[in-house]
Structure 1
């Protein structure tokens, strides 16, 4: 990594992980900053084409190099300016303040590129908002998008994300007038800073568009100190330019994996999806607080991140739209039904104190149980090699069994119903000395539960019953169509003589 020496990448500690873009995708080897969470790793897997290893610095440097090459070839920037611009773009990624959209990461030359800024990343430790840094980020984004188009595009797509997360951190309810003031101020600052940079490019390279004669009026004051003045100053700076290089600059777009890479939890001006999010862990799916919930005042989480009305969403859209060059393509998405912030859950207990891990026919299976005073109350399965449909079916089955146990259905009834059920995977059981073979995952699980909770082991199936091509013994078979066969062919069906009945 010699070419990264002397840049912001030098000294950045990276961690290596293996993860797929989604739970059903094959995992790939990735390297990203040590402090970035698994959600960011999954987003990187989705953004980088292919299935092989990927390292964040290498991928970022690839699109930085493309932008610098195109910008210099088009005369937008000089070789002396290139290193400073490159460091600015690296800084936006490393601080997770901004990034180009998925089309740039994937090298899709046919798609119009965009650049998104993550609003909560500009919050300062003492509680303020880095207004100067945000204005510089807007200028860097304009330079990047213009360079990627080789200076030919007259319409760029600069946007921001996670307004809801910013408002919650500022203790502002989404459906309040104060929240709309902040949103309008952010949009005005974005437009003013972007148009100011377009004006600076026009002064160097020649104007292609006139300066607007009518400007939207930014809010006179906002709960965020300094925002109104910064927005007004940015718009005044743009108005003083000799002309514009671009006809449009600010547009809010639907989210892609870029927002997840930056840690943004909502797109554009969409409301927050709730106070918690589902996360899959080794012990199952649990609810954890969202980043917005962790930053918001604890006593106000429910009020700040609860559902909002359609009227509130339209009001927020109306407050922001005057400062956008392109109106959003669709209204902000409705948030998911809110759930309360999670409380610590009791640890699931077994007599052994651990989850059982075995292999049935070469397929890894984990059986988890929960009990109260030695009585089984809940079961759950984890299967590593099966497809999404099969895993979903097993999850639903486990929930149905758990619901029955909670309502008084005896475990013995479930054992009678599901022990010796026959479907794949089946075969040799590794990891359970009491059950050497099983006709299915359910067969192993319920015979294991019978040993642990009913005090007795059931007979083992015969070896031929667990082979992949085994059929049930004659005594266990039943006809697929339990109908009496006619004694003679029907006279009303003249073609019956051409059919053969196979017993």
Structure 2
């Protein structure tokens, strides 16, 4: 298997690890592998995957769930194929060998799209069966409740050319959920034939949709439920559950969890140089630029609730439900008439610079008149706490701008604020030094939106030094201090008093 190597970390606050992964995979999958692998040693995908696949297949044969060596090899090969095609993967607990961790298996729905725009229902049903058997082997065939689910229904719907908030999309979602349940319970029935039934066949799920826009999907769902109903008994009480996504979904390239809608046609990512950049989602690349905006636009809250109602009857556990819709925001206060004239730019701007050796990305959003309405600052090297504070501060500024606060007030408040990182500015020909990230950002906004040329760079290099609070000459030494003279023995005796 050809591999390419890079360094990746499971999250921005963790040190990077050397990761080797298939050449067709991207950097997001590298960070997922770094999160799935235990310890801090270099990660090699084939070795990491075989670390749980081979023992799982061997254990299945010992438990009697795999009949012979040929079935053991076929089962292991099926797991490898699901991983390489990014169709299915287990949860981090199985990758790390954590016997007490939460074990589950997730299937990536867009990976089953066919070239002609259909859905490979037969391959999906087989993948469900492999996932159920893998979970039963992992639990030692002792657990009555397993957790198998799917991810990125929104990406599947976009790939099929369906809007998330349409009746056709809800029919597809219900059919996929019914197919998942039918295939899972049919596999549970086959396991019951091997080890004995523990549960009667009692299908309480409603009938699947009679038809969907996807050829053969409704018939496949109906056939799977009929196959489950024909079992003599089941091995499990519950099988199908949707939970919050984790590193398994990231490894598969799923862009939404369960039946949640898409967040839009673009996402933010880090490029090879560590800069924050906005790129198309995988779903947008599949459907093309012309259709992405319509198919992947965030739907109304009611559409999410309607999809939950369509999918939930086929699940064995309650899914993560959408949170209550927030109350509508109050209309912004109109900007005063005395607001200065500003250059007209329809969308905003992006500035990428380095302040004191730290990469900074400043993004702005403007209204139709070119007035600044929102700003964000992204940092690539700082800790989580620092980035969170910066995000909260810029959000507060954006709320103020939308509410009518003049940009001049923010410029006067934040220009020349002094804290690290600070120092030389690279990438901005108009501003060469800054006393902080906020100093550079608001002086840049003053140049672009207010036309101000009165905010010069710090005159002395010390004024832009990192973490400088004042000039060194103004600092008074506090330690060491002269200690008071200790009294002698005679003086101490004079201080004693007889009490009685």
TM-score by length of 1: 0.72
Counterparts in 2 of 1:24-35, with a 5 A limit? 24-35=13-24
Q: 1:74 and 2:63 equivalent?
A: yes
CA contact (8 A) 1:437 1:466 kept: no
Q: Secondary structure at the match of 1:80?
A: helix
Q: What SS does the corresponding residue of 2:18 show, helix, strand or coil?
A: strand
In the TM superposition, what is the alpha-carbon distance from 1:83 to its structure 2 partner? Answer: 0.9
Which position in structure 2 is the counterpart of 1:481? none
Instruction: Provide closer, same or farther for how the CA distance between residues 347 and 202 of structure 1 changes in structure 2, counting only shifts above 3 A.
Output: same
Shift of 1:274: 1.8
What pairs up with 1:133-144 in 2 under 5 angstroms? Answer: 133-144=123-134
Moved more, 223-232 or 62-71: 62-71
Deviation at 1:167, TM superposition (A): 0.8
TM alignment of 1:313-352, pairs within 5 A: 313-324=304-315, 326-332=316-322
Q: 1:304 aligns with which of 286, 295, 307?
A: 295
Deviation, structure 1 residue 23: 2.0
Aligned residue pairs total 439
Secondary structure of the residue aligned to 1:29 is strand
Distance 1:380 1:310 in 2: 26
The answer (yes or no) to whether the contact 1:447–1:457 under 8 Å persists in 2 is no
**1:206 matches 2:212:** no
2:34 maps to 1:45? yes
- What corresponds to 1:145 in structure 2? 135
**Unpaired runs of 5+ in structure 1?**
1-11, 337-343, 350-354, 371-376, 478-503
Q: Find the aligned partners of 2:285 and 2:116 in 1 and give their Cα distance.
A: 16
- CA drift at 1:131: 1.4
How far apart, in 2, do the equivalents of 1:380 and 1:320 lie?
37
Query: Are the counterparts in 2 of residues 154 and 246 from structure 1 also a CA contact under 8 Å?
Result: yes
Task: Give the deviation of 1:141 after TM superposition.
Answer: 0.6
Provide the C-alpha distance between the structure 2 equivalents of 1:166 and 1:223, rounded to a whole number of angstroms.
Answer: 13
1:86 and 2:88 aligned? no
Question: Deviation string for 1:432-491 (max 9, x for gaps)?
Answer: 9xx9999877899999999xx99998754479x9698996255699xxxxxxxxxxxxxx
What's the secondary structure of 2:69's corresponding residue? coil
Whether 1:388 and 2:377 are equivalent positions in the alignment is no
Aligned-pair CA distance for 1:393: 5.8
- In structure 2, the residue matched to 1:484 is none
2:6 — aligned with what?
17
The question of whether the paired residues in 1 share the 8 Å contact of 2:89 and 2:105 is answered with: yes
How far the C-alpha of 1:285 sits from its partner, in A, is 3.0
Q: Distance in 2 between matches of 1:314 and 1:446?
A: 42
Aligned partners of 2:212 and 2:363: how far apart in 1?
53
Specify the SS of the correspondent of 1:81. Answer: helix
TM-aligned CA deviation for residue 147 of structure 1: 0.6
**Superposed displacement of residue 253, structure 1:** 1.6
2:277 matches 1:277: no
